[in-house]
Amino acid sequence: MERQLLNCYRPNMKRFFPILLLSILSFTACRTAKVKDPLDVKPNESIVFGRLILISRKPIPDKKTIAILFNETILGTRGVSLDDSGYFCIKLPIGKNPLAQIEFAQYSIHLINIEKGYISMNIKEANKVYYAGDITVDLSNQSTVKTKTLGLLSSIAAEKKLPAKPTTTIQAAQSTVDHFRKIFPNNKKEITTKLIRVRQE
């Protein structure tokens, strides 16, 4: 599934970014675990939410072009796009769920694979709501795969590159928990803070 973007050297930014956004959102939608209702989970799943702050060499104009993928990079189904403030909410299965890939758009789409197990969310119980923290990932010194299309071929190209171990910090912020409660006011499940883990080298 390939989605051709604009084939021009200097794109008109007002027209270009909506197309980039549509490409990322539509591709991610095909493999998404985005949460619409915290009660709508399978017997082996829990809800995980948080906020991602991505540092790159150049500013990312629209946070909604940022997407994260857990567990698998090519045939993965656990992906979600951020909202316009960088928040995410996703359904993950019981067990270890490594952050596998980050996607974002500037003048083109950038993909970077994360070394397996470097950043990981371990889910021990189903039907829970976990706050994974506010996650800051510094990609300013990392090499990414650049593409004008987002799909199987671009994922394979990213797979050929050495996976990254970007500098990552995690902190808890009450504002992120409050944001979740605002988005899902009818949620009755207890929110458990379980910060996503970054492997110490």
pTM above 0.75, yes or no: yes
Of 53, 87, 93, 56, the residue nearest 72 (C-alpha): 93
* Cα atoms found within 13 Å of the Cα of residue 173, Cβ hemisphere only: 17
**Residue pLDDT tens, the chain, 201 long:** 333 222 323 334 444 444 444 444 444 444 455 667 777 889 999 999 999 999 998 888 888 889 999 997 765 678 899 999 999 999 999 999 999 999 998 878 888 899 999 999 999 999 999 999 999 999 999 988 777 655 555 555 555 566 889 999 999 999 999 999 999 998 999 999 999 999 986
Instruction: Kindly list the structural domains of the chain, giving each domain's residue range(s) and its CATH number in brackets, ordered by start.
Output: 13-186 (2.60.40.10)
- The number of helix segments (H) and strand segments (E) in the chain equals 3, 12
* 69: three-class secondary structure by DSSP: strand
Cβ(105)–Cβ(56) below 8 Å:
no
The answer to whether the CB of 44 falls within 8 A of the CB of 124 is no
